[in-house]
Amino acid sequence: MKRVTVINGPNLNLLGTREPEKYGNETLDEINGRIQAEASRLEAECQFFQSNSEGELVSAIQRAGVVGGIILNAGAYTHYSIAIRDAIAAVPSPVVEVHISNVHAREEFRRVSVIAPVCAGVIAGFGSYGYILALYALLGRGRHE
């Protein structure tokens, strides 16, 4: 059974109430539930982690580095955390960077990701469905089955 770790960064614990016009009305627990249901259907195991702390995210990436893959929404750390970038580069697991909003249609500073060059891919702008797309990518699924 393939294992995937889903790691969410700062302020994502506020989903459902934080700027719903940008991030939707789903809570992080609801999103995680949908990811878990799809992973189970695909015979994969998911673990979930969220932190507002950069160091805790680095540690979570290092711990998860031996699983089948990592889905990472690093939030604002995407744009400037060299520590998170270095953690991704140091682990053998593929990492898919996910953003709920289309960061390329937002403020200029959000269009730059320092972690993208060390990730297997980036998914942005598809709402919480981006996590499911990342799951499919990590599990080698090209389409919804």
Backbone angles phi, psi at 120, to 5 degrees: -70, -30
6 near 32, Cβ under 8 Å?
A: yes
The pLDDT assigned to 101 comes to 86
The model's pTM is 0.92
Confidence tier at 1 by pLDDT (50, 70, 90): low
The pLDDT assigned to 134 comes to 97
What 3-state class would DSSP assign to 27? coil
Give residue limits of the domains in the chain: 2-138
73 near 7, Cβ under 8 Å?
A: yes
6 near 47, Cβ under 8 Å?
A: yes
Q: Which residue has the tokens 């797309």?
A: 133
Q: Which CATH superfamily is domain 2-138 in?
A: Dehydroquinase, class II (3.40.50.9100)
- Cite the active site residues: 23, 99
